[in-house]
Amino acid sequence: MSQNQTNEYRIPGLEDVGIPGKRKPINPQKISEVIDVYTAGKGAMIDTNGTLVTQKDARNFNPDQLSQLQNISTSMANNSLHPYHSANQRRDALMPPLAEMRVTVVGLGGGAPIPVELAKCGVEKFTFFDMDVLSLENLIRHPCGIEYIHLPKVDAVSQYLKRQSGQKLSIAQYAEDIFTSMHLRAEIAKSDLLIVATDTEASRFFLNEISVELGVPTIFVGMFEGGTGGEIFAAVPGEGCYCCLAEHIGRKHFINTYVKATRKGDCSSTRDTSAMPGLGVDQGILCHIATRKALDILLKNKNHKLPPVGKNWIVFSICGITNVLSDSLTSIQMDIPKHASCMTCHE
Ligand SMILES: [Zn+2]
């Protein structure tokens, strides 16, 4: 930083957590690192040695708050502040850390809240696939804000997560078309869970074939046309797959189309929902249900106190789904078994 850049000093990540306020000039020659903490609109600045820079604001804090701020300051300076990964009774009383688990997420538009929540649950390893760039239109239903515009979605979500978590994450990212990717199969093979949050039926079938072949548990999540509700399906190897679901509930027309297609990615379906209307708050409901189902799979065979939720197929009505569920905030749930004539998982 040059000497004349003294008007604004930004610590990546911290601007997002407080109430915005007017920044005070800092001389970087005297203070190499500054943390700018805003509390109830009144700020205090603390240097990396834990020294309160603006004594005037000290009166806004009690001794415990000052001590906490100084600890934050020191931890930031040491690059050792990892809020999602440190021991935390509020989470750890329910479930053990999931630091060793790797979760692959395909689709980081509508599905972006899922790795954000999983990271808060202690998952430290992710693999992201999405070939799109974050555009202005995405922001009304995406965790990333305007500073991530025009980044590939895989980069945007990676950077966002690393900032929120204090960098302690291992993320592999591929801005690639899954139908031609040379990395997809190998990355899914080393994952403990696959999340499919894409917006086309062809991509769901394609990823289902791979996850069945490789024996990787998979969660499919999608919003219905118009954002009135959505569907979550949790597929566990040996217990049925996304194609079994299609067989059981009468989606055979697309199965026939998909089987005949030579270019699977070109198969279109009435269930494709690219760029459809829908609010982030409603999409968030579906993502949070999907995340909760993901935890049920990741915690299997672990000692934990988090009760499992729901059946393996959940249709959730947010504001009433035409011809399916007229009531709002309710669901249809079934445990979908393996289908005897499933083309994908039938042996
Ligand atoms: Zn099947």
CA dist 211 and 202 (Å) reads 14
Q: Phi first, then psi: what are they for 316, rounded to 5°?
A: -110, 120
Q: From ligand 1's centre to the CA of 218, what distance in Å?
A: 12
Q: From ligand 1's centre to the CA of 231, what distance in Å?
A: 17
Query: What pLDDT is attached to residue 257?
Result: 85
Is pLDDT at 282 greater than 90 in this prediction? Answer: yes
From residue 240, give the alpha-carbon distance in Å to each of 101, 210, 211, 235, 272. Answer: 23, 14, 11, 6, 23
Q: What's the full length of the chain, in residues?
A: 347
CA dist 234 and 285 (Å) reads 16
Other Cβ atoms less than 10 A from the Cβ of 77: the count is 16
* Domain covering 89-334, topology: Rossmann fold (3.40.50)
Q: From ligand 1's centre to the CA of 242, what distance in Å?
A: 6
Query: What pLDDT is attached to residue 10?
Result: 39
Q: From ligand 1's centre to the CA of 200, what distance in Å?
A: 18
In sequence order, the β-bridge partners of residue 315 are 231, 332
Q: From ligand 1's centre to the CA of 105, what distance in Å?
A: 21
Q: Which residue has the tokens 């499933």?
A: 342
Tokens of residue 36, six digits: 């700018």
Q: From ligand 1's centre to the CA of 245, what distance in Å?
A: 7
Query: What pLDDT is attached to residue 24?
Result: 41
Q: Model pTM?
A: 0.81
Rounded to the nearest 5 degrees, what angle is found at the Cα of 52, between the Cα atoms of 51 and 53? Answer: 105
Is pLDDT at 263 greater than 90 in this prediction? Answer: no
Q: From ligand 1's centre to the CA of 88, what distance in Å?
A: 39
- Give percent above pLDDT 70 in the chain: 77
pLDDT grade, residue 172 (50/70/90)? very high
Residues of the chain with CATH 3.40.50.720: 89-334
Tokens of residue 57, six digits: 């604001």
Q: From ligand 1's centre to the CA of 7, what distance in Å?
A: 60
Query: What pLDDT is attached to residue 165?
Result: 86
Is pLDDT at 99 greater than 70 in this prediction? Answer: yes
**Range 157-183 average pLDDT:** 93
Pairwise pLDDT comparison (6 vs 81), residue with the higher score: 81
Q: From ligand 1's centre to the CA of 141, what distance in Å?
A: 32
Q: From ligand 1's centre to the CA of 215, what distance in Å?
A: 12
Q: From ligand 1's centre to the CA of 243, what distance in Å?
A: 5
Q: From ligand 1's centre to the CA of 213, what distance in Å?
A: 11
- Amino acid sitting at position 143: P
**Range 197-225 average pLDDT:** 95
Q: From ligand 1's centre to the CA of 254, what distance in Å?
A: 15
**Mean pLDDT over the full length of the chain:** 82
DSSP state of 52: B
String of DSSP letters for 256-293: HHHHH-SSGGG---TT--TT----HHHHHHHHHHHHHH
Rounded to the nearest 5 degrees, what angle is found at the Cα of 65, between the Cα atoms of 62 and 69? Answer: 135
CA dist 328 and 311 (Å) reads 19
Q: Phi first, then psi: what are they for 190, rounded to 5°?
A: -100, 15
Q: From ligand 1's centre to the CA of 342, what distance in Å?
A: 5
